[in-house]
Structure 1
Amino acid sequence: MKIVHTNEAPQAIGPYCQGMIVNNMFYSSGQIPLTAEGHLIDGDIKEQTHQVFKNLKAVLAEAGSSLESVVKATVFIKNMDEFPLLNEVYGEYFHTHKPARSCVEVARLPKDVLVEIEVIALVKE
């Protein structure tokens, strides 16, 4: 196992790491719309989702992977009524490569954000 850490994404806000590599697979922790400096993006679902993808790209790059290597994404959304807006942004990042995905509405997310996304990806050998 290898712990993945980058200063290009927000630091963990609890007792966990940004991600782990096990057997050429990267497992990310859920990313929320915090900047690398730890500032919350206080925008709508689209703005928050763009920040989440910026964070995911940073931890994936540190792991030696990329969005094109994601095999599974799990999306947690505060309000399923905003699903079409989330999907619009999600499609900007996964337009040709479309990994498996789950999306669930949750009662509350850390820091009361609107979206959190975690991914599993292949790591380049």
Structure 2
Amino acid sequence: MSYFLNFLVCISMASYSLAQSTDTAKAPSGYLYKVDNAIPGQTVYICGERPFNANGNLAGSGNLGAQTQQLFENIKTSLATVGMTLKDITQIKYFVKGETETSLVSNLDSQQLKSVQSTYLTIPPKIVDMKNVGQTVRNDVLIEIEVIAIK
């Protein structure tokens, strides 16, 4: 399945989930896709992960570092549900709220992301991408993340 098609599936799942009931959000807030934890080499996609804690509250309002820490905690929880760890991550894509989608992620933001990432991942994934987005799901959400992991 192509990366683009996987992305579309993640977006579709996000849209479907948002259309469901308005029950209290539980961490993790992202969407796990294509999971069969009994198969070695199985690829797991976590899409649309957002910095909400287990109570559904935004972590670190206005603080990119704190929101990024919450993202990694949520990802760790998601991966554990399928018998995986952060060591299984092969690709990370950060979507950082910026002035415009065409502007680059600032050096300060990039340094913050790398600093938090290094506390969770002793060996960085082969692919790490940072992209500015003009808006996120809410005005106070500064970052969203997409992760690919292989068992």
- Are residues 30 and 99 of structure 1, via their aligned partners in 2, closer, same or farther at CA, if it must alter by over 3 Å? farther
Q: 1:99 aligns with which of 117, 126, 133?
A: 126
Q: Give the structure 1 partner of residue 148 of structure 2.
A: 120
Distance in 2, Cα, partners of 1:100 & 1:78: 20
Structure number with larger C-alpha Rg: 2
Aligned-pair CA distance for 1:76: 0.6
**Is 1:30–1:117's contact at 8 Å kept on the other side of the alignment?**
yes
Cα offset, 1:9, TM superposition: 1.8
Q: Which runs of 5+ in 2 are unaligned?
A: 1-24, 99-104
Q: Following the alignment from structure 2 to structure 1, what is the Cα–Cα distance between the partners of residues 110 and 136?
A: 16
Provide the C-alpha distance between the structure 2 equivalents of 1:65 and 1:93, rounded to a whole number of angstroms: 14
SS at match of 1:111: coil
Structure 1: segments with no counterpart, 5+ residues: 1-6, 13-17
Identity across aligned pairs (percent)?
A: 29
Check conservation: 1:10, 1:37, Cα contact below 8 A: no
Deviation at 1:99, TM superposition (A): 3.5
How far apart, CA to CA, are the structure 2 residues paired with 1:89 and 1:11? 19
Structure-2 residue corresponding to 1:70: 89
- TM-score normalised according to structure 1 size: 0.78
Runs of 4+ with deviation above 6 angstroms: none
Residue identity opposite 1:75 in structure 2 = Y
Structural RMSD (CA): 2.0
Letter in 1 for 2:81: E
Change (3 A) 1:37 1:99: farther
Q: Are 2:56 and 1:47 equivalent residues in the alignment?
A: no
Higher mean C-alpha displacement, 77-86 vs 101-110 = 77-86
User: Per-residue CA shift, 1:37-72, capped at 9, x if unaligned?
Assistant: 211111411111000111010001112111101111
Deviations along 1:14-53, one digit per CA (max 9) or x if unpaired, are xxxx202166111112211101221111141111100011
The one of the two structures with greater contact order (alpha-carbon pairs below 8 A, sep at least 6) is: 1
User: Relative to 1, partners in 2 of residues 1:75 and 1:115: Cα closer, same or farther, differing over 3 Å?
Assistant: same
Residue of structure 2 equivalent to 1:85: 112
Question: What is the 5 A alignment of 1:10-49?
Answer: 10-11=28-29, 18-20=31-33, 21=35, 24-41=42-59, 42-49=61-68
